[in-house]
């Protein structure tokens, strides 16, 4: 007996083909745009970036001591040191290292999504991460956060595979990812603590040998931090976050959600609610049909553990920061952002109606890319204005003083040695390319602006100009830069204001000139 082929279905398949091609083209275009935006920004380096480059340019043997005074672990700086040796220390060059790690994270997001829900989740995960304003921002910043997010995804995949079959090679990758994360950013301690606790619970509750093996691998990764433990403890006691105040955990979590969506800009404000909703649907939602989604408060299978790890990591870190009186910045949440992106990607696929699924993905992608374009266009620092005035007007031998020292790294970077300027920072007249965070509050509280002014005038002598790059409102330095300016003006009353601090910039500074009397 012969059976006629299902010819009636052919037109339907043919009708779907153009839409499939259109969807594939959309994915290719937005991912390509996201990749391009990871290497484009017109901004000069701001404080943290310029400081990272200054530290990375030191001989490798000097990095441990420099980082004792900075408060960060060493891995990113070692990598950036080697990168600068090959490609130089220009803005594009030093940021490209982060861009490469950010692009390398994209296939890992695809692989992670495929494990969670096949091709639909893989596509969503790729698009969500590729078009994320948050991820694009740190791909264009000479800091460790793009490396950190890459390592989180690599560690996630390694752990998933180790829990399936705990052979030595897979467990070694878990240990390596753990150790590398701890050497990249200290907030990894919170992620490791949460993952370790869940593995211990699984090993005890389910008597799971794979979980025990994975927990041992995580512990082995933690042990690799022992050679750095002395410096870490010194940093913990003496550096901290003197530049900012502690915030409540609720404020930290709310600010992080907004930052993940794109920050305090129109596109970020528009996207934050959809991202949170998609994350909640991923954890609690199950499609009943094309028009209905059932909510289960006990959560549904899929990404519940990824969501638990992400939320617990952020909560633990926010609580620890608040209890310790240290500042919180949303960039610290880079440690759990890849897991959040996976949860959002899974949430998009909860919709059974492909039109709703496509609409959600388009909304997330386009608003994310709008933020990426804004990131490419905006200046993060006012440093170029102050440096431009100094380059145009200063003479060899002039003295440039930076108050507070935190405005020194990015402006001094734009003043080449060929200008012959003497550059010093407030209050210790040290090298302005660096900021010493050790006992920062105590040293600045005991500083005497008048004494610093006298030292600066002695350095300038009777014929050289003094240039003061300054900014108001810095914690522990309140009023001191203004007092320094007044003290300089008493000896040199002809001061002129060349640049006013403009808080429209993420980082702002003004410029005063004090010519000889």
Reported as a single tens digit per residue, the pLDDT across 446-495 is: 999 999 999 999 999 999 999 999 999 999 999 999 999 999 999 999 99
Q: Are 465 and 395 in contact (CB under 8 A)?
A: yes
Asked if residue 404 has a cis previous peptide bond (ω within 30° of 0), the answer is yes
CA distance 129 to 121: 12
Secondary structure E strands in 252-337: 285-287, 293-295
Q: What is the pLDDT of residues 33-57, one digit of tens each?
A: 999 999 999 999 999 999 999 999 9
- Determine the pLDDT at residue 241: 87
- Determine the pLDDT at residue 13: 52
DSSP 507: B
Hunting for tokens 């041992």 — which residue is that? 216
Q: What is the average pLDDT value for the chain, to the nearest integer? A: 94
Which stretch of 7-21, 169-183, 266-280 has the lowest confidence by average pLDDT?
Answer: 7-21
- Determine the pLDDT at residue 20: 83
Rg of the chain over all Cα atoms, to the nearest angstrom: 26
- Determine the pLDDT at residue 206: 87
CA distance 248 to 395: 49
Two tokens, residue 263: 């920050």
* Residue 6, pLDDT above cutoff 60: no
CA-based nearest residue to 243, from 51, 76, 99: 51
Q: Are 406 and 433 in contact (CB under 8 A)?
A: no
* Residue 11, pLDDT above cutoff 60: no
Share of residues in the chain with pLDDT > 70 (%) = 97
* Residue 251, pLDDT above cutoff 50: yes
Q: Are 404 and 477 in contact (CB under 8 A)?
A: yes
Which whole-number Å values give the CA distances from 302 to 113, 201, 315, 349, in the listed order?
A: 11, 19, 22, 11
Q: What is the pLDDT of residues 297-350, one digit of tens each?
A: 888 989 999 999 999 999 999 999 999 999 999 999 999 999 999 999 999 999
CA distance 366 to 271: 10
- Mean pLDDT throughout 361-390? 97
- Determine the pLDDT at residue 243: 87
- Determine the pLDDT at residue 154: 98
Q: What is the pLDDT of residues 108-158, one digit of tens each?
A: 999 999 999 999 999 999 999 999 999 999 999 999 999 999 999 999 999
In three state form, how does the secondary structure of 70-139 look? Answer: CCCCCHHHHHHHHHHHHHCCCHHHHHHHHHHHHHHHHHHHHHHHHHHHHHHHHHHHHHHHHCCHHHHHHH
């Amino acid at each position: 007996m012969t059976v006629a082929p299902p010819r009636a279905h052919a037109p339907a398949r043919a009708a779907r083909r153009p839409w499939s091609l259109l969807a594939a083209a959309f994915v290719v275009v937005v991912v390509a745009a996201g990749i391009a935006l990871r290497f484009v920004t017109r901004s000069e380096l701001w404080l943290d970036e310029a400081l990272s480059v200054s530290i990375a340019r030191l001989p490798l043997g000097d990095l441990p001591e420099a980082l004792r005074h900075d408060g960060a672990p060493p891995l990113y700086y070692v990598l950036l040191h080697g990168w600068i040796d090959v490609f130089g220390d220009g803005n594009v060059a030093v940021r490209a290292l982060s861009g490469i790690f950010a692009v390398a994270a994209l296939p890992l997001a695809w692989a992670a999504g495929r494990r969670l829900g096949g091709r639909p989740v893989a596509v969503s995960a790729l698009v969500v991460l590729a078009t994320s304003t948050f991820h694009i921002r740190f791909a264009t910043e000479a800091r460790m956060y793009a490396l950190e997010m890459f390592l989180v995804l690599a560690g996630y995949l390694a752990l998933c595979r180790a829990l399936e079959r705990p052979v030595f090679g897979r467990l070694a990758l878990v240990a390596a990812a753990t150790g590398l994360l701890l050497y990249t950013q200290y907030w990894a301690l919170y992620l490791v603590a949460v993952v370790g606790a869940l593995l211990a619970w699984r090993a005890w509750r389910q008597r799971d040998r794979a979980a025990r093996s994975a927990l041992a691998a995580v512990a082995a990764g933690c042990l690799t931090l022992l050679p750095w433990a002395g410096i870490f403890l010194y940093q913990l006691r003496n550096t901290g976050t003197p530049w900012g105040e502690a915030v409540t955990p609720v404020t930290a979590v709310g600010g992080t959600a907004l930052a993940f969506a794109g920050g305090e800009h129109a596109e970020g404000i528009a996207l934050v609610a959809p991202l949170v909703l998609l994350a909640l649907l991923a954890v609690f939602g199950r499609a009943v049909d094309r028009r209905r989604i059932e909510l289960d408060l006990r959560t549904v299978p899929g990404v519940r553990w990824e969501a638990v790890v992400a939320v617990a990591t952020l909560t633990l870190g926010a609580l620890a920061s608040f209890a310790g009186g240290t500042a919180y910045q949303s960039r610290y949440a880079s440690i759990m952002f890849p897991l959040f992106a996976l949860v959002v990607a899974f949430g998009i696929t909860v919709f059974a109606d492909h039109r709703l699924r496509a609409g959600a993905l388009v909304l997330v992608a386009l608003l994310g890319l709008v933020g990426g374009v804004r990131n490419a266009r905006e200046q993060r620092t006012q440093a170029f204005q102050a440096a431009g005035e100094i380059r145009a007007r200063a003479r060899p031998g002039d003295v440039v003083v930076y108050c507070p020292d935190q405005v020194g790294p990015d402006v001094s970077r734009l003043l080449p040695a060929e200008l012959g300027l003497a550059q010093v920072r407030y209050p210790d007249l040290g090298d302005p390319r660096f900021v010493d965070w050790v006992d920062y509050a105590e040293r600045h509280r005991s500083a005497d602006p008048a004494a610093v002014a006298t030292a600066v005038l002695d350095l300038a002598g009777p014929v050289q100009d003094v240039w003061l790059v300054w900014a108001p409102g810095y914690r522990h330095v309140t009023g001191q830069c203004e007092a320094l300016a007044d003290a300089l003006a008493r000896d040199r009353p002809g001061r002129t204001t060349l640049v006013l601090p403009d808080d429209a910039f993420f980082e702002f500074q003004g410029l005063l000139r004090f010519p000889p009397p």
